[in-house]
Amino acid sequence: MKRRTVRITPLGYIVLTIIILVMVVSIYFIVWSMRNAGSEQPQGNLNSNSVQTTTPTPSLAPVNATTTAPVATVAPTAPPAASTPAATPKPDDTPEPAVKTPTAAQIAAAVDGTLNSSGVVLRAGPAQTYSILGKYSSGTQLKVYEASGDYFYVRIVKENLVGYIAAKFVDKAGLVPGENATPTPKAIAGTIPGTVSASKLALRSVPSTEGNTPIGEVVKGDAVLIYFKTGDFYYIQVVSTGVKCYAAAKYITASTAVPTGTPVP
């Protein structure tokens, strides 16, 4: 008995290939669908024994009804910078005391004075460590109240300003409280001991500054003997030289009252 031979045409091969591809694709999708279905937990089935293969998404913590919604964290605002307290004063930072006011008694007993140099400073106290209140020129008029060490407590007349000026720059017309008088020289009968208070004092042959030339000079602290007063001048004898002459009375400090006399011819 002869076997029948089936011949497949080229078109048949094409159709067969298509059928095989469709079957393979169908099988792939069926398998893929089954795997996905097996990996999903059915919703609402709380008693299911299937094990989830994917990592469950963590659920949010329950929020109580009384709990307020969380507020976004805000970086704290830096507190306003406190004002820097003043540095604690050190023992040597003691505030400088205010210049004292002269008493009524000091004002009544004040002596006239003038500056004998320019660029002289007025200070708040009797030492170079005190602050400068002003600077003045030669001839500035003063009221001198008292001595304090090497300084005089004074008032600048034109500015009505009080303070301290080094004594060596002040020419005055008499002693003030706190000032040590120069030891009294041995007096000649009829004379009154005195001391020169100006830095320099001209000696004159007549009791006037006009029309005559000084015959010499004495300096602060020099001792003189006073015979009498005529006008604004004393007739004196300089102890160290024995010279007799006239000198401005306001720049000589007398130990007692000086009588008025008649100019010597």
Range with the poorest average pLDDT among 4-18, 98-112, 129-143, 200-214: 4-18
Report, as an integer, the average pLDDT of 194-205: 92
Residue 125: per-residue pLDDT? 93
Task: Give me the CATH code for the 104-172 domain, please.
Answer: 2.30.30.40
**What pLDDT sits at residue 44?**
47
Structure confidence at residue 162 (pLDDT): 95
Q: What is the pLDDT of residue 253?
A: 94
pLDDT digit string (tens) for 123-154? 999 999 999 999 999 889 999 999 998 899 99
Question: Where do we find the tokens 């008292």?
Answer: 146
Candidate ranges 51-65, 83-97, 163-177, 192-206; pick with highest mean pLDDT: 192-206
Residue boundaries of the structural domains of the chain: 104-172, 192-254
Q: Indicate the CATH number of 192-254 among 3.40.50.1820, 2.30.30.40, 3.40.30.10, 1.20.120.1200.
A: 2.30.30.40
pLDDT at 87: 54
The pLDDT, as a whole number, for residue 49 is 47
CB-based contacts of 96: which residues, under 8 Å, 6+ apart?
A: 124, 125, 130, 131
Residue 61 has pLDDT above 70, yes or no: no
What is this structure's pTM? Answer: 0.42
Digit-coded pLDDT (tens) for 11-28? 878 888 888 888 888 888
Mean pLDDT calculated for residue range 21-50: 68
Query: Can 104-172 and 192-254 be said to share one CATH topology?
Result: yes
Q: What are the angstrom distances between the C-alpha of 5 and each of 8, 17, 77, 216?
A: 10, 21, 96, 171
Mean pLDDT of the chain: 79
